[in-house]
Amino acid sequence: MDKHLNLFRFFNDSSNEFWEDNLSRAFAICLKNDATFLSFILQKILDSEVYSRIVNSDYPNSYIDIDLQRKVNYLDNYSYIYAIACSGIEIDEQGITKINSRDTDNPETDLLLTIGDICIIFEFKRTNEDCSAQLKQQAEIVKKNSPDSEPIRFRDLDWKKIIETALSVLSIERQINNENIFLKNFIEFVEEYNTNWFPEKRLAEIPYPKNDSYLQKRLNSIKDFVFGKNTTKWVGDRYVISIEKPWAQELTVEYLNTNGKDYITVEIYPGDTKRQGYGYFKDGKTYKWEDENICGYHVEVVSYYLKFSHFNRGIAWLELSKEESINTHNYSFFSNWSGRYNEKRGKNWKSDFVRELNQIIPNWKERTTWDEVISNSNRNYFDLSVGTHLRVLIPYKQAQKLDDVDNENNKLVEIIKQIYNELSKIIDS
């Protein structure tokens, strides 16, 4: 469906500038137009006896009023005051009482819900910002204007709780074939903004590649299960599995569309550093990765490459064809070429390197950023390593079937382990 047919999405709504206002507005409209959702939210907020008083009357003598951006200075004479923090993270309800309230002239609520002598103030944040001080000021003003009221009740209703509640209500409505369009559109609207507020989905629930955020989130969880969460870590913007092999330090699981087909991939980079090359290249041993099938899955050589590094960080790469790799990806080339290049190799060490490597790979430097990052730079050394990027392809539809449970007994996790073990056998032998 066109996203502009969503009740809460506008044609000119292309920035995040008004997201907080739009989120609170969408939430308010859902409360007004979905009685079940309203009831679920009130149950999460109100004390049980207060909630019972509202719903246990056939003919209530008060109406539920829902409004946006009300000046709190004019709110008075309430018996119950509830202050609700709605942020990207959970707010400590008890901690709110200990902080200093914000000092703002004439503050106004993001959302106000009143039921007779009950006042419910909502403060929304679209980020993980703590809204406690702002919320506390508003609640204290209402309390000052309502001297006979009960003590202020502070509540956390972070966005994950809101979405969890909305999804539960929508599930019930779908089971009786009475889906509320307001609630459905609200969920889709928020989902487009931040999938981190939503429960994790298994691959079977994620059509490829409808939502990359859901897919990446699920794959990161799968990585945690392979050898345990203590083996996973962020390296820059990549979430990888640490492995203890002399020829590689990282294993990763990604997703890929290639040649019109969707895959989950298991990827590894043996020989990415000189130290790893010692474990990968062995005298008299050759690899024929293009002929390998591991656990019934095709092994793809994404690239044979030479890596130029400085301060342990790659600064340039030379990707090689399969034919070129015959002369480079072997024990002899690794032994003679890998390592550090600097003035210890001679006064003209940079030009000498270019000339000598040209004999093996003609005009190689035109295929790299050599001139920019090495030749014309003030760098006084670089390290050369001989690496291979290997990828094992698991068809996405098959991966969806294998991703059957949310724990260590997950079949997709077991396949990833088996692939890694088989790769290891080939390299370690």
Count of C-beta atoms within a 10 Å radius of residue 92 = 14
The Cα 143–Cα 275 span in angstroms is: 67
The Cα 106–Cα 91 span in angstroms is: 24
Q: How confident is the model at residue 1, as a pLDDT?
A: 43
Closest-CA residue to 188 (of 319, 62, 45, 1): 1
User: What's this model's pTM, rounded to 2 decimal places?
Assistant: 0.79
The Cα 278–Cα 241 span in angstroms is: 21
Q: How confident is the model at residue 13, as a pLDDT?
A: 54
Q: How confident is the model at residue 229, as a pLDDT?
A: 93
Each residue's pLDDT, cut to its tens digit, for the chain (429 residues) gives 455 566 887 645 555 556 677 888 999 999 999 999 999 999 999 999 999 989 887 767 789 999 999 999 999 999 999 999 999 999 999 889 888 888 888 899 999 999 999 999 999 998 899 999 999 999 999 999 999 999 999 999 999 999 999 999 999 999 999 999 999 999 998 988 888 899 999 999 999 887 788 999 999 999 999 999 999 999 989 999 999 999 999 999 999 999 999 999 999 999 999 999 999 999 999 999 998 999 999 999 999 999 999 999 999 999 999 999 999 999 999 999 999 999 999 999 999 999 999 999 999 999 999 999 999 999 999 999 999 999 999 999 999 999 988 777 899 999 999 999 999 999 998
Sign of torsion, CA 359 360 366 368? negative
Phi, psi of 293 (to 5 degrees): -125, 125
Q: How far apart are the first and last CA of the chain?
A: 54
Q: How confident is the model at residue 212, as a pLDDT?
A: 86
